[in-house]
Structure 1
């Protein structure tokens, strides 16, 4: 009996020592399309800063950085955050941007902006003893084939007959350079993974996910019966990346997770409407991550107004999506995505 009791005590002690030796870190990532630097909405720039503070994000991936009037947006937003008592680090970028709570040891242009057809940037930093490679992407807005499906030209948004041939849709989609940019990301990020870094990608892809255009949704949301293997999301899945929102909420019927077009309440309706007779709501803002030992996704939510734009009108659909509504001005026609991760080592 004493021998069994001693063995049990040794096992309990071993479990306690193992648990106490494990270290858990939490970090947050915010993907935020800021609609021309928040310049479209009155008070938008300050609202962008306020929302970043409220998110308490460790890393922020920004879309629509324009550097208007020869200013450096990332410098301006870092200063605005400093005035709010928050320290972030950044570097000069065009079109997309990155913020980190931790000093940046390396930064690079992965896919340079050319003729306003999208960009990808990268930073390397360290939280504790773990290195991170964080990427931001704002992909090509042209040849947006998910509009062609819905009866609007994906380049000039003029009314057309809906394109319902899968081959034709994929041909139109591949006329963009979104897939070229993503191929570059996948190649570069392999080196970061090999170096033992956690790889995170946030961005406005200007393209939906194949995880949303499924058998379950083919007769919803003006999908016209189509199940579409959208290129960028398929490429990322084949490369092993996880879509944070779909990892947490796999059902696109109950949790569509629409991020655009969102109902920005302080903007006239006509400025929010792209295809007035169609249901063009989609999830085009993403936080992707590479699986990593000890890394787990603990939470993900949409940030922004509950309302969307549907057939040229403001609507609020009853979905199960978790949405953190803005406390004040909402500065963009997109909704943001906020993911929380836990790393146990």
Structure 2
């Protein structure tokens, strides 16, 4: 198998956080929703290329791309002109990946009947001498019921009579989407990887918050209106032994809410807010990982995107302590992304 070794760069404090250099072999993973394939942002496509050049990730989880493999092929060719060699695949989907490491196997799978457009793309690479299974996903956007406690419908995006804060009522409505079925299909496939001793990393826009972010400490914040909700997808992944990369490094959701949507993108050509009279900010984009034999070590995880946020329909300064790398490029999305840096320790098998 081809071995890939990469020395991770020291990132300047001017990016908004202190990113120390990772020792040894490692891999840099970026996750980002591209909002209609960057079409919703003036100069968004060039901004995305500039982002790849500045961040220089080894692996990129992409979702909400346009044109499937045509889009990925265009990015690969344009980055080659900039001296950056990537491989990638999206099949006929709106989800795909880029990788500096040549993938040994690529599949589209974890398809849920009735929700075929949310199929995942899986690819295997060897990094740091370890075989890693990566999954790029974009879960069902329908029945976005974290809006219910905020007094909005997650299906019509219109105001409802009053906020719904009962956990079981919210979860019942939320389960009309296919997100939990997609995660169940992923876990079934990932167990095969784990049984083979592979590390597993999944990233994407889950269109659902984390159960770690809707607990007692946050029940009276961000228009949760007293709701405590154990959201299904995060609970299923955590119960299966997966780790939420951002929460591993920033466990306090009050100090580090980690909001990824909506991002305060001043270059946007379309609306940023779907619930303009509410505080709709949430963390719905994730990187999860399963460290087989404890060989996969998370070094850093930060947000990437504009420092500004969107509060009650207006772009506002971000008041949290979240570490955010603010790239110099035109930001191509209405989401912030996640950047995780992993290192590989020795593992006997």
Give yes or no for TM over 0.5.
yes
Instruction: Report Cα offsets for 1:273-307 as digits up to 9, x if no partner.
Output: 11011000000010100023232111111111111
The residue aligned with 2:245 is: 244
Counterpart Cα distance in 1 of 2:263 and 2:226: 24
TM-score computed with the length of structure 2 as normaliser? 0.88
**Normalization by structure 1: what TM-score?**
0.89
* 1:116-135 map, 5 Å: 118-135=118-135
Bigger mean CA deviation after superposition, 56-65 or 137-146: 56-65
- Counterpart of 1:76 (choices 74, 77, 82) is 74
The secondary structure found in structure 1 opposite 2:207 is coil
Residue range with higher mean Cα deviation, 287-296 or 253-262: 287-296
Write out per-residue CA displacement over residues 51-104 of structure 1, whole angstroms, 9 at most, x where no aligned residue.
Answer: 122222111101102207xx7111111112111111111123312111111111
Using the alignment, how far apart are the partners of 2:307 and 2:318 within structure 1?
8
How far off its partner does 1:128 sit? 4.7
90-99 or 29-38: bigger deviation: 90-99
2:49 is aligned to 49
Contact 1:118 1:141 in 2 (8 A): no
The 4+ residue runs of structure 1 with deviation greater than 6 A are none
Q: Which segments of 5 or more consecutive residues in structure 1 lack a partner in the other structure? A: 1-22
Quick check: which has more Rg, 1 or 2?
Answer: 1
- 1:288 maps to 288
1:99 corresponds to: 98
* Matching residue of 1:213: 214
Partner of 2:11: none
Contact 2:38 2:65 in 1 (8 A): no
Is the 2:180–2:233 Cα contact (8 Å) retained in structure 1?
A: yes
Q: Which moved more, 1:153-162 or 1:23-32?
A: 23-32
Structure 2 stretches of 5 or more lacking a match? Answer: 1-22
- Note the C-alpha offset of 1:115: 5.8
How far apart, CA to CA, are the structure 1 residues paired with 2:121 and 2:98? 11
- Greater CA deviation, 157-166 or 301-310? 157-166
Does residue 162 of the first structure (1) align with residue 160 of the second (2)?
no
Q: Secondary structure at the match of 2:146?
A: helix
Q: Residues of 1 paired with 2:41 and 2:90: CA distance?
A: 24
**By how many angstroms is 1:117 displaced?**
5.4
- 1:37 is paired with a residue whose SS is coil
Q: Give aligned pairs, total.
A: 320
For residues 164 and 34 of structure 1, the distance between their equivalents in structure 2, rounded to whole angstroms, comes to: 31
- TM superposition shift of 1:321: 0.4
